[in-house]
Amino acid sequence: MPFTEVQPLVFDPAKARRLAKQGNIDLLVGQAVPGKVVSLRGEISDANCYLGGHTHAYDHAFCAKLCAAAGGPLVFIPDQGEEIYLVLSERNGIRLPENVLDRIGVPGIVVKGKVLNSGGVRALAVEGLTP
């Protein structure tokens, strides 16, 4: 199935499940990502600009949101430490919450989620923001 036909199914998981069942395909949409529960302070930015030139923060927020809207990967840059995390949604196939997407490029946010390490890649499955 072409990507352009799959993309709208993000907003209709019930239809996606029906189609997967018809094709005898495993569908992990909605399953929780495993990991250690954490709250971290830092910034979510787009991976392309951050990894390519450490471009991030307020001056880059609009660009980072455009990259995310185009499907580019996101990273979490913690205030403390040098570990950068690949950003995942807390549940497979479910978008990040709108309030998280609105804060892309804003330093000093606190996110709650789960940290996991798979094959040497550190990831942060973001559940949401903490007050």
* Length of the chain in terms of residues written: 131
Q: What is the DSSP string of 82-98?
A: S--EEEEESBTT-PPPH
pLDDT in tens, the chain (131 residues): 788 887 888 778 788 888 888 887 777 777 778 889 999 999 999 998 888 877 777 787 888 888 888 888 999 999 987 789 999 988 877 888 999 999 999 999 999 999 999 889 999 999 999 87
Domain that holds residue 109: 31-129
Tell me how far apart the alpha carbons of residues 89 and 97 are, in angstroms, rounded to a whole number.
9
CATH number, domain with residue 38: 2.40.50
21 and 62 in a single domain? The answer is no
Domain identity same for 96 and 86: yes
Q: How far apart are CA 116 and CA 34, in angstroms?
A: 7
Asked whether residue 22 falls in the same domain as residue 69, the answer is no
Q: Are both 102 and 57 inside the same structural domain?
A: yes
**Same structural domain for residues 111 and 67?**
yes
Q: Same structural domain for residues 58 and 120?
A: yes
User: Alpha-carbon distance 7 to 75, whole Å?
Assistant: 22
